Amino acid sequence: DHFHPIGMKGHMSVSDFLTNIKVEHTERAGVLVLATPTDIIWVCGHRISDDFKLGNDTRRIIRATFTKE
């Protein structure tokens, strides 16, 4: 459960990331994660992985939206 949050150096666990951005323990079970079988793409509503950001060499885009209720 490690990913490379955009704007940060290196990889970190989703749990450590949520701690760093001060998400309460009681809210963490409700945090959704968009992932492939091997990689975390987006901690929904918080941060995308640097490994999946758009760049000049991007050829395919999948649009995903997240709405908090």
Would you say 4 and 29 are in contact if contact means Cβ atoms under 8 Å apart? no
What pLDDT, on the 0 to 100 scale, is given for residue 40? 97
DSSP 14: H
Residue 68 in this model has a pLDDT that exceeds 90? no
Q: How confident is the model at residue 67 (pLDDT cuts 50, 70, 90)?
A: confident
Residue 7 in this model has a pLDDT that exceeds 80? yes
Burial 32-55 (b: 16+ CB within 10 A, else e): eebeeeeebbbbbebbbbeebeee
What would the pLDDT profile of 21-55 be if each residue is shown by its tens digit? Answer: 999 999 999 999 999 999 999 999 999 999 999 99
